[in-house]
Amino acid sequence: MKSAVIVFPGSNCDRDIAVAIEQVTGRAPAMVWHRDSELPHGTDFIALPGGFSYGDYLRSGAMAARAPIMRAVGEAASRGVPVIGICNGFQVLTEAGLLPGALMRNAGLAFVCRPVALTVENSQSLFTAAYRAGETVTFPVAHHDGNYQADEPTLDRLEGEGRVAFRYGEPVNGSARSIAGILNDSGNVLGLMPHPERALEPAHGGTDGRRLFEGLLEAVA
């Protein structure tokens, strides 16, 4: 698998996701700077990391979504290349219009930083094929703006089309319908607030995130 991690000024989980990708796929990803306009030839998986791109100026993910490299990311996504956005990466995907809805300030206003229980709602996607539907997994969250909101018709469509990939199993941030992660309409773009790359090895306190990358590797390779 030929992966690329997009690095924005203020990204801080780019190394975490790079380590996770290398551990699972055996190949280090290309680290692609936000000012670049092209992805390495043959890129077949793109990760938008967590962090605080551009200091969360204007809105979380707003500036990063307009960075030069995002045009190439959008084109790759439209060709079916798998794209994952984790935490700030999810915010960037919604701001770029690659996923519907928006991530707003947590309902409790506090930065939430702890492992949370999630339910795998859709186990048929590129990213969740190694999980069982309805399974409970634990990933850490670490965010201030993770409160997913969209209008009712959009939420109904996401539910009806099986595009809710992960749902919180406990109150976390006030997200509509406890949504923790969603897919685009073609199923090749996943955005989620929890961090699967921080639940990869026993030293992390849990390994539930590993299967996300293993399942993806199997689907892509």
Partner 1 sequence: MKARVFITLKPGVLDPQGKAIHHALEGLGFGGVQDVRAGKLIELELAEGTSDPDIEAMCRKLLANTVIENFRIERSEDA
Q: CA torsion sign, 96 to 98 to 99 to 100?
A: positive
DSSP class of residue 201 equals: S
**Interface with partner 1 by CB under 8 A: which range of 39-47, 78-86, 122-130, 147-155?**
147-155
Joined together, the tokens standing for residue 190 give: 């996943």
Nearer to partner 1, 7 or 67 (CB): 67
CB of 35 to partner 1, least distance (A): 17
Residue 21: enclosing H or E segment and its boundaries?
helix 14-25
- With CB under 8 A as the contact rule, the residue among 76, 87, 141, 150 that binds partner 1 is 150
- With CB under 8 A as the contact rule, the residue among 2, 15, 105, 177 that binds partner 1 is 105
User: Does 108 engage in binding with partner 1 (CB under 8 A)?
Assistant: yes
- With CB under 8 A as the contact rule, the residue among 3, 11, 125, 147 that binds partner 1 is 147
Nearer to partner 1, 146 or 215 (CB): 146
* Known catalytic membership, residue 87: yes
User: Does 184 engage in binding with partner 1 (CB under 8 A)?
Assistant: no
Read out DSSP for 44-87?
-EEEE--B-GGGG-SSTTHHHHTSTHHHHHHHHHHTT--EEEET
Per DSSP, the three-state class of 184 is coil
* Known catalytic membership, residue 159: no
Give the x/- contact pattern for partner 1 in 16-55, rule: CB under 8 A.
----------------------------------------
* Known catalytic membership, residue 195: yes
Q: Helices 14-25 and 210-220, interaxial angle, to 10°?
A: 60
Annotated active-site residue in 34, 95, 143, 197: 197
- With CB under 8 A as the contact rule, the residue among 106, 122, 128, 178 that binds partner 1 is 106
Q: CA separation (Å) from 50 to 16, 24, 54, 81, 159?
A: 9, 19, 12, 20, 25
CB of 173 to partner 1, least distance (A): 10
DSSP class of residue 112 equals: E
> Tokens 């069982």 sit at which residue?
132
- State the Cα–Cα distance between residues 81 and 73, nearest whole angstrom: 9
**Interface with partner 1 by CB under 8 A: which range of 35-43, 69-77, 103-111, 160-168?**
103-111
